[in-house]
């Protein structure tokens, strides 16, 4: 399979930088004020913890992990670094299962989104040469 290029234009890269900067700001808030945040399972929140709800959450999480690892596998270069940083948030269910691990998980997520923001800024300022796929900075376009 050939690598998938997700951030191919300046517009896409700018949107990625904006969204990553927003999540980065929320992560800073979470680090400074941990009492204001809570961690929940992403699907069927608020329903009683029945076998069906747990099975649906596990299935949803498994599909999300499969998609994440597929996208990481198909990406290349600095774009892969950007995507890996974003998928640090897949550790969220660990906070629910092991509450004593909540703080280290939040620290790992903060580190991941920081790396992702730096990679996105790098892609915005120095775009890769998509045609050659060598990962070296290409010529600037005005």
pLDDT digits (tens, 9 = 90+) for 80-139: 888 888 888 888 777 777 778 888 888 888 999 999 999 989 988 887 655 444 445 555
Question: What pLDDT is recorded for position 91?
Answer: 82
Task: Tell me the pLDDT of the chain averaged across its residues.
Answer: 77
Question: What pLDDT is recorded for position 132?
Answer: 40
Binning pLDDT at 50, 70 and 90, where does residue 45 land? low
d(CA 12, CA 72): 18
Question: What pLDDT is recorded for position 36?
Answer: 59
């Amino acid at each position: 399979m050939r690598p998938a290029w997700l951030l191919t234009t300046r517009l896409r890269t700018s949107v990625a930088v904006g969204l990553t900067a927003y999540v980065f700001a929320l992560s800073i808030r979470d680090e400074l004020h941990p009492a204001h945040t809570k961690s929940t399972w992403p699907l069927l929140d608020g329903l009683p913890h029945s076998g069906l709800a747990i099975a649906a959450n596990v299935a949803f999480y498994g599909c999300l992990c499969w998609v994440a690892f597929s996208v990481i596998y198909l990406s290349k270069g600095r774009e892969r670094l950007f995507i890996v940083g974003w998928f640090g948030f897949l550790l969220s269910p660990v906070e629910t299962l092991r509450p004593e691990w909540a703080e280290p998980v939040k620290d790992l997520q903060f580190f991941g989104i920081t790396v992702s923001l730096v990679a996105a800024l790098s892609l915005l300022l120095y775009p890769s040469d998509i045609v050659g796929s060598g990962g070296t900075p290409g010529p600037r376009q005005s």
